[in-house]
Amino acid sequence: MDPIREHKLLQTRRHFFGRMATGIGVAALGSLFHPGLVEALADENTKAKALRAVPPFAPTAKRVIYLFMAGGPSQIELLDYKPGLNKLHETELPESVRMGQRITTMTSGQKSLPVVKSLYQFKQYGRSGTWVSELLPHTAGIVDDICIVKTVNTEAINHDPAITFIQTGFQQPGRPCMGAWLSYGLGTANANLPTFVVMISSGKDSDQPLYTRLWSAGFLPSEYQGVQFRGKGDPVLYLGAPPGISRQRQRDVVQAVNAINTKYDAIVDDPEIAARIAQYEMAFRMQASVPELMDSTQEPRHILELYGCQPGDGSFASNCLLARRLAERGVRFIQLYHKDWDHHGGVKDGVSFKAQEVDRACMALITDLKQHGMLDDTLIVWAGEFGRTPMSQGGDGRDHHNAGFSIWLCGGGIKAGLVFGATDELGYNAVENPVDVHDLHATMLRLLGIEHTRLTVKFQGLDARLTNVSGKVIGEILA
């Protein structure tokens, strides 16, 4: 056979893509020796991905710090002042309020559903005259910097589907979370750190699970998943080189492993191999960048006192300080999980204890970002997966409530000093400007310069997106 004709016959589509993939590995290996190369490639990669996501308006936020109160904080005790509860205290919840809406099995078997007033006092604060609970004195001091949304509602009423829904836009596991979508759509701003970092506060033991799938990339390439940093000890396990292994030796190991992966990728053309190559590179660069990042002992004394934390103690306050340090270094999505807000019993003491753990730190984070000139382009979100019922569970608790609960947002293009939406006089239903979880996601993406309907990926034959087939931007809360 003619050699030229034989060569043409061998150039199949699979052959073409297989050969093309070898360039990824070459670029990956080159980035270890020339860090500027990966930054340039990342920039071009970001531009390519963002073409379908960038609308004809500029972003007001460059990054997100998501303060997630896992378990469902009681809006009745914290942010939604309801004097109407006082009038009906310990009387049966009117059916005209509930209207047959679903409640959990934990209260559906109760003989009665007695209304319970807020267990704490509220006062008005700031120029806005916003009502805030006595449990949040530090938050009350910066109330003119935040926007409280009182009417968030969710489809889910139990923890796992609800926390999955508010993180991924779907109640079923397997979808990318918001941080992964953002990493995919906007790319990295620092080649030496992950685009998406997760931290979980240490503290009182809780049996509430937080699954790693909550910061998963789902069907997106795994390089976009969240990287969990630990607040105590080594921030990332096995990140440091073993004793006696020099940085040059470590570089040689990474180079050898990536060379093998590159050859295999040329054969099978698997996107996950390219992701693994990128992750090896990231881990190598993190060995130099992460220790300095996590060492908050060099922070000025007045900053440590502002947060009320001890560096490296793993507390929510310490993680808030680390969040500011991560934001300074270009990490785009920082998620702090704070557990144990699930107060089916002992709600009075439980909410008080949890509020003390977060109140000062939230104020400190906002104040610190403002002092660094970063609040205007940093979006902060404080939220749980749902709220708590205005009626009692078991006499001294509150059950899950999904029909209307409170969150707050700050910075990054959010209108400061605003209270948006209203629930009924008992705090049960959202009656003015209801906000769906997809609306919240659409608004967050809009602030980051992303049109939520255009950030899509083909999955199972559909254009999958964070907001599914709904979601609208809440224009009234934008500055």
- Count the domains in the chain: 1
CATH code for position 368: 3.40.720.10
Is 344 contained in some domain?
yes
Cα-trace Rg, the chain: 24
The CA distance from 14 to 20, in Å, is 10
Selection from 159, 144, 227, 150 nearest residue 418 by Cα: 144
The CA distance from 417 to 3, in Å, is 75
Q: pLDDT value at position 46?
A: 47
pLDDT tens over the chain, length 479 residues = 554 455 455 455 555 444 444 444 444 444 444 555 444 444 444 443 544 455 557 899 999 999 999 999 999 999 999 999 999 999 999 999 999 999 999 998 898 999 999 999 999 999 999 999 999 999 999 999 999 999 999 999 999 999 999 999 999 999 999 999 999 988 888 888 999 999 999 876 666 789 999 999 999 998 899 999 987 777 777 677 777 777 777 777 777 887 888 887 888 777 788 777 777 777 777 777 788 888 888 899 999 999 999 888 899 999 999 999 999 999 999 999 999 999 999 999 999 999 999 999 999 999 999 999 999 999 999 999 999 999 999 999 999 999 999 999 999 999 999 999 999 999 999 999 999 999 999 999 999 999 999 999 999 999 999 999 999 999 999 99
The CA distance from 8 to 417, in Å, is 68
The CA distance from 185 to 329, in Å, is 19
Is 262 contained in some domain?
no
Is 247 contained in some domain?
no
Is 246 contained in some domain?
no
Selection from 142, 156, 189, 168 nearest residue 68 by Cα: 168
Selection from 276, 288, 290 nearest residue 247 by Cα: 288
Planar angle of CA 403, 110, 346, nearest 5 degrees: 75
Selection from 162, 153, 166, 156 nearest residue 433 by Cα: 153
Is 425 contained in some domain?
yes
Measure Cα distances from 393 to 111, 113, 239, 344, 450 in Å.
11, 8, 46, 6, 42
List phi, psi (to 5°) of 132. -135, 145
User: What range does the domain containing 110 cover?
Assistant: 59-233+312-477
HEC sequence for the chain? CCHHHHHHHHCCHHHHHHHHHHHHHHHHHHHHHCHHHHHHHHHHHHHHHHCCCCCCCCCCCCEEEEEEECCCCCHHHHCCCCCHHHHCCCCECCHHHHCCCCCCHHHHCCCCCEECCCCCCEEEECCCCEEEECCCHHHHHCHHHEEEEEEEECCCCCHHHHHHHHHHCCCCCCCCCHHHHHHHHHCCCCCCCCCEEEEECCCCCCCCCCCHHHHCCCCCCHHHCCEECCCCCCCCCCCCCCCCCCHHHHHHHHHHHHHHHHHHHHHHCCHHHHHHHHHHHHHHHHHHHHHHHHCHHHCCHHHHHHHCCCCCCCCHHHHHHHHHHHHHCCCCEEEEEECCCCCCCCHHHHHHHHHHHHHHHHHHHHHHHHHCCCHHHEEEEEECCCEECCECECCCECCEECCCEEEEEECCCECCCEEECEECCCCCCEEECCEEHHHHHHHHHHHCCCCCCCCCEEECCEEECCCCCCCCCCHHHEC
Is 227 contained in some domain?
yes
Is 11 contained in some domain?
no
Q: pLDDT value at position 281?
A: 77
Q: pLDDT value at position 254?
A: 75
The CA distance from 7 to 9, in Å, is 5
Structure token digits, residue 18 = 């297989």
Which residue is it, tokens 């500027």? 36
The CA distance from 258 to 275, in Å, is 11
List phi, psi (to 5°) of 106. -75, -25
Signed CA dihedral, 330, 331, 333, 334: sign only: negative
Is 286 contained in some domain?
no
The CA distance from 42 to 167, in Å, is 26
Q: pLDDT value at position 56?
A: 59
Residue 284: Cβ within 10 Å count: 21
